[in-house]
């Protein structure tokens, strides 16, 4: 890891901007690099701090991300009170937790993952027609939102769209994933409203408090795709960050790789089939739990 930075600094002929521009102009993303048969990743993907997350997680229950069961919370008051207490503690101590029995069928979640994968693995010439950095477009496919400003690119491609306020028209959503995108966004919107009710109650506020705020009404979907990497030791799929939103609802596949920084330890968020991961965003964190 330490040699990456020094090697780059020695090579005065290397022009990152040229490399980044050439990559972006292909409109094929990281998947395009993989399809081209590369065995070495471009230098623009080198992360100087790729091995910072090398602390081992203690084998202790206190370092397991909380899992909260939402079954019967609407019909059993004692279960609801218990769930609210768990949400309050998980939000305060972790900022992350997983939820099960949330009301969205596992078949919908699995098909959403498959639909996003189908988009990224479809014919390259079809895929590239959606590629854009124009944020006014309602449905965008791109690789790395801050490609030209971040010191290192992440090894991933993404699609992005809003599902409320000003959502894309049906014909703007790629046919390969259109049906499941519509179904998933409808169901995740309803679940998000439920979570904001629970957060409101956990904060000691009226149940409808957060749902009445205008600032939560922009539902944004960011769907990442991580192709196999020929040199994974040199790069990252997603680098260290926080979310600036109120709340992120994350649908995780079964491969894993998501980590949470807790008490100065990087803790794996182990995939639980059918679960959703809740991440307290920066805006919601400003409200006191």
Please give the share of the chain, as a percent, with pLDDT higher than 70.
Answer: 90
Superfamily for 2-52+68-285? B-lactam Antibiotic, Isopenicillin N Synthase; Chain (2.60.120.330)
Mean pLDDT of the chain: 90
Whether pLDDT at 63 is above 70: yes
> Which pLDDT does position 6 carry in this prediction?
38
pLDDT digits (tens, 9 = 90+) for 69-93: 999 999 999 999 999 999 999 999 9
> Which pLDDT does position 55 carry in this prediction?
52
Distance between CA atoms of 29 and 123, rounded to whole angstroms?
13
pLDDT digits (tens, 9 = 90+) for 108-145: 999 999 999 999 999 999 999 999 999 899 999 999 99
What DSSP assignment string belongs to 207-275?
A: TTTGGG-GGG---EEEEEE----S-GGG--SS-S----SSEEEE---SS---EEEETTEEEE----TT-
Any idea which residue has 């649908």 for tokens? 251
**What ranges in the chain are assigned the alpha helix state H?**
2-10, 16-25, 29-35, 77-93, 106-120, 124-127, 178-202, 282-285
Give the start-to-end residue ranges of the domains of the chain: 2-52+68-285
pLDDT digits (tens, 9 = 90+) for 231-256: 999 999 999 988 888 899 999 999 99
- Of residues 62 and 258, more confidently modeled: 258
Over residues 146-164, the mean pLDDT reads 95
Whether pLDDT at 148 is above 50: yes
User: SS in 3 state form for 61-76?
Assistant: HHHCCCEEECCCCCCC
Whose CA is closest to 87, among 224, 289, 285?
289
> Which pLDDT does position 139 carry in this prediction?
96
What is the band of 1 on the pLDDT scale with cuts at 50, 70, 90?
very low
pLDDT digits (tens, 9 = 90+) for 185-224: 999 999 999 999 999 999 999 999 999 987 667 899 999 9
Whether pLDDT at 33 is above 90: yes
Any idea which residue has 């006014």 for tokens? 136
Beta carbons within 8 Å of 8's beta carbon, 6+ residues apart: 14, 43, 46
What is the band of 12 on the pLDDT scale with cuts at 50, 70, 90?
confident
> Which pLDDT does position 10 carry in this prediction?
54
């Amino acid at each position: 890891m330490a040699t990456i930075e020094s090697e780059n600094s020695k090579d005065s002929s290397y022009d990152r901007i040229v490399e980044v521009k050439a990559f972006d102009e292909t409109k094929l993303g990281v998947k395009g690099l993989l399809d081209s048969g590369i065995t070495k990743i471009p230098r623009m993907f080198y992360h100087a701090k790729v091995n910072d997350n090398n602390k081992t997680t203690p084998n202790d229950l206190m370092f397991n991300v909380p899992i909260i069961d939402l079954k019967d919370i609407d019909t059993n008051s004692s279960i609801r009170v218990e769930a609210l207490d768990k949400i309050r503690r998980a939000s305060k101590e972790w900022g992350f937790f997983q939820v099960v029995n949330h009301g969205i069928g596992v078949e919908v979640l699995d098909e959403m993952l498959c639909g996003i994968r189908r988009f990224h693995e479809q014919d390259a010439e079809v895929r590239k027609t959606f590629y854009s950095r124009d944020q006014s477009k309602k449905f965008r496919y791109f690789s790395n939102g801050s490609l030209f400003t971040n010191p290192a690119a992440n090894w991933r491609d993404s699609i992005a769209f809003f599902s409320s306020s000003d959502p894309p028209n049906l014909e703007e959503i790629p046919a390969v994933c259109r049906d499941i995108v519509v179904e998933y966004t409808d169901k995740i919107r309803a679940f998000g409203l439920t979570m904001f009710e629970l957060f409101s109650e956990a904060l000691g506020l009226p149940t409808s408090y957060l749902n009445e705020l205008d600032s939560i009404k922009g539902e944004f979907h960011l769907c990442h795709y991580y192709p196999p990497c020929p040199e994974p030791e040199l790069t990252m799929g997603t680098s260290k960050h926080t979310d600036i939103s109120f709340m992120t609802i994350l649908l995780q596949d079964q491969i894993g790789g998501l980590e949470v920084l807790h008490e100065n330890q990087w803790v794996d968020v182990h995939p639980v089939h059918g679960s959703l991961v809740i991440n307290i965003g920066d805006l919601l964190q400003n409200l006191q739990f």
